[in-house]
Amino acid sequence: MRTLAFYGKGGIGKTTVATNISVLFAKDGRRVLQVGCDPKHDSSYKLVAREQVRTVMGLLQVPGTQTLTREQVVMHGRMGVDCVETGGPEPGVGCAGRGITRMFEVLGEAKVLESGYDVVVYDVLGDVVCGGFAAPLRRGFAREVYVVASGEIMALYAANNICRAIVTHARNGVALAGVVANLRGSSKELATLQAFAARIGSRLLHPIPQHEAVQEAERHSRTVIEHAPDCAIAHDYTALFGEIQATTQEDCCIPRPLEDTEFEQFVLNAMVA
Give the interface segment with other proteins, choosing from 95-103, 114-122, 133-141, 186-194 (CB under 8 A).
95-103
Selected from 3, 15, 160, 161, the binder of ligand ATP by CB under 6 A is 15
Binding to Mg ion in span 3-62, by CB under 5 A: 15
Give 96 or 214: the residue with its C-beta nearer to other proteins.
96
Q: Under the criterion CB under 6 A, does residue 16 sit at the interface with ligand ATP?
A: yes
Residue of the chain from 11, 50, 93, 219 that contacts other proteins (CB under 8 A) = 93
| Largest separation between any pair of C-alpha atoms in the chain | 61
Question: Rounded distance, CA 231 to CA 235, Å?
Answer: 7
Strand order in the sheet with 32-37: 75-76, 81-85, 32-37, 119-124, 2-8, 144-149, 175-181
Candidate list 89, 108, 201, 242; residue touching other proteins; CB under 8 A: 89
Is residue 38 part of the annotated active site? The answer reads no
User: What are the residues whose beta carbons fall under 8 Å from the beta carbon of 21, sequence distance 6 or more?
Assistant: 4, 121, 237, 240, 241, 244
Of 199-238, binders to Mg ion (CB under 5 A) are none
115 binds, among other proteins, ligand ATP, Mg ion, none (CB under 5 to 8 A by kind): none
Cα distance between residue 49 and residue 53, in whole Å: 7
Q: Of the ranges 2-10, 83-91, 114-122, 135-143, which one interacts with other proteins (CB under 8 A)?
A: 83-91
99 binds other proteins per the rule CB under 8 A: yes
Is 188 assigned a catalytic role? Answer: no
Query: Measured from the CB of residue 99, what is the shortest distance to other proteins in angstroms?
Result: 4
86 and 55 Cβ atoms separated by less than 8 Å:
yes
Q: Is 67 in the site for other proteins (CB under 8 A)?
A: no
How far apart are the C-alpha atoms of 8 and 157, rounded to whole Å? Answer: 10
Residue 102 binding target from Mg ion, other proteins, ligand ATP, none, CB below 5 to 8 Å by type: other proteins
Minimum CB distance to ligand ATP smaller for 68 or for 87:
87
Residue 126 binds: one of ligand ATP, Mg ion, other proteins, none (C-beta under 5 to 8 A by kind):
ligand ATP
Nearer Cβ to ligand ATP (73/214): 214
Q: Vertex 264, ends 190 and 171: CA angle to 5°?
A: 80
Q: How many residues does the structure list for the chain?
A: 273
CA 153 to chain centre: 20
CB of 95 to other proteins, least distance (A): 4
* 36 counts as binding other proteins under rule CB under 8 A: no
Q: Is 246 in the site for other proteins (CB under 8 A)?
A: no
E runs forming strands in the chain? 2-8, 32-37, 75-76, 81-85, 119-124, 144-149, 175-181
Say which of 27, 42, 118, 127 is annotated catalytic.
Answer: 127
Please count the CA atoms within 13 angstroms of the CA of 226 that sit on its side-chain side.
24
Q: What is the rounded radius of gyration, in angstroms, for the C-alpha atoms of the chain?
A: 18
Give SS3 for 64.
Answer: coil
Applying CB under 6 A, the residues found at the interface with ligand ATP are 8, 10-16, 38, 125-126, 182, 208, 210-211, 214-215, 218
